[in-house]
Amino acid sequence: MSPTKKRQSKPKHKSLLLSRTRPAVAVLPANIVASSGITKPVRNSTITSITSKASRTLIRSLHTLQKRRAQAEKKGDTKAIAEIDAEIAKQGGLEKYQLASLNGQSSSRGGDSSGVLMEWLGASVKGSGKKFRVLEVGALSVDNVISKNKRMDVTRIDLNSVHPAIETQDFMERPLPKNDSERFHIISLSLVLNFVPSIEGRGAMLERLSSFLLPPTPIPTSEEQTTEDELSLGNGVFLVLPAPCVENSRYMDKERMQSIMEDLGYKLEKEKTSNKLVYYYWRWIGTEHFKGRPRRTWKKEEIRSGAKRNNFAVVLA
Ligand SMILES: C[S@@+](CC[C@H](N)C(=O)[O-])C[C@H]1O[C@@H](n2cnc3c(N)ncnc32)[C@H](O)[C@@H]1O
C-alpha cells in the first residue's frame, strides 16, 4: 500500500512540552537571537545566556521527561503525568528547549544543519531557474542557510512558533495535500524525529513524509544530467539526528535506518557524520518497485548490546 493512502493515527505527543503555566524563559545572547529572527521569547527580566553545556543538559533532561511522560500516558497513570508535566514546566517547557536548541545552531557551536543540505545540493541550486519548495518541520530560525538561498522557497512549521514566518503546526496534523501545488521537493526533518517521544510516533512520522513530497524522481543513469529544473539529489527528505541515536543505540544502526527508509520508498543519496550529528538525504523513489509486496513491519529488537548504549528506536507497525 502506498504510504500516502495509509490512515494516520492521532499524535500523542503534541502538548508534552507545551506547558500552560510557563515559567520565565531564559534568553539567548543577543547575537543568536538576532540571527534567528526570534521575536517572542523575551518574557522575563533576567537575561541569562545559556552555555553550550547547559543547553545540552537541558535538552537531555527534557527528552528524558518526555519519554517518561509517554510511558506514563501508555499506562494511563494520570498522577505520574501531572508530576512530569510540573517538572517539565519547572524546567521551562518547549520554549526553553527551543532556545537551547537554537543555541546549538549558532555558528560558534557548529552552525545550523541546513548548511549541509545546501552543500549537498550544490550546483543544482546555483542557476537562476525555478524555485524548489522546502517544508522545514521543526523550524526555529528564518535566517538559516537554506532560508538565505533565493532558489529555496521555505515553508516553516513548528509545534511552537517563535517567529511570524513559522506556522504553529504539528506535522502529524498538517492537512494532507490536495494536489502537487501543495507538495514539496524537499522535507527537512532536522533533530525532530528524536524529539518524538514514542517509538511508534517516530515510525508514523517517517511514514507520513512521502504524502507531502512531489512525485518520485527517477535515479538518473551515469550519462544523464539533471536539468536546471531538477534537484540533483531528487525530491526527498533531509534527516538529521544526534549521532548516538544511530551509532550507539541498542535498537538502531545505520543498516536498520536504511531498511526502514527503503521500505518506505527511499534511497540513501548522501550521508555525513560529524562529532555530534548524522545527516542523511533520502531520495523519494516510491514504492512501485516492491511490485505489490507489502512493506515489512519493523519492531523494537536488540541489534547490539552493551550497558552504555541508549534506547533510541523507531518502529513501523
Ligand atoms: C531540537 S529542535 C530542532 C530545531 C532545528 N530544526 C534544528 O535542527 O536545530 C526540535 C523542534 O522540533 C519541533 N517539533 C517536534 N515535533 C514536531 C511536529 N510533530 N511538528 C512540528 N514541529 C515539531 C519542536 O517543537 C522543536 O522546536
Residue range 53-63, pLDDT digits in tens: 788 888 888 88
Residues 144 and 200 occupy one common structural domain: yes
Residues 254 and 115 occupy one common structural domain: yes
Residues 100 and 138 occupy one common structural domain: no
Residues 147 and 38 occupy one common structural domain: no
Residues 184 and 286 occupy one common structural domain: yes
Q: Would you say the CB of residue 281 lies under 6 angstroms from ligand 1?
A: no
State in Å: Cα 188 to ligand 1 middle.
Answer: 10
Q: Would you say the CB of residue 36 lies under 6 angstroms from ligand 1?
A: no
State in Å: Cα 282 to ligand 1 middle.
Answer: 19
| Domain membership of residue 208 as a residue range | 110-290
Residues 98 and 164 occupy one common structural domain: no
Considering the entire predicted model, what is its pTM? 0.79
pLDDT at 288 over 80: no
Which three cell numbers mark 9? 493515527
Give the count of domains, the chain: 2
138 is in an annotated binding site: yes
Residues 94 and 124 occupy one common structural domain: no
- Residue 27: its pLDDT value, please? 36
- Residue 105: its pLDDT value, please? 64
Q: Of the spans 13-17, 118-122, 187-191, 228-232, which averages the highest pLDDT?
A: 187-191
- Residue 127: its pLDDT value, please? 63
Q: Does 23 map to a domain?
A: no
pLDDT tens across 136-188, in order? Answer: 999 988 989 999 988 899 999 999 998 999 999 999 999 999 999 999 999 99
Ligand 1: which atom is nearest the Cα of residue 240?
A: 8
**Which phi and psi angles does 252 have, rounded to 5°?**
-145, 135
User: Mean pLDDT for the chain?
Assistant: 80
- Residue 54: its pLDDT value, please? 81
**pLDDT band (50, 70, 90) for residue 276:** confident
Residues 122 and 66 occupy one common structural domain: no
Name the amino acid, one letter, at 257. M
What residues pair up with 167 in beta bridges, in sequence order?
157
* Cα distance between residue 237 and residue 284, in whole Å: 7
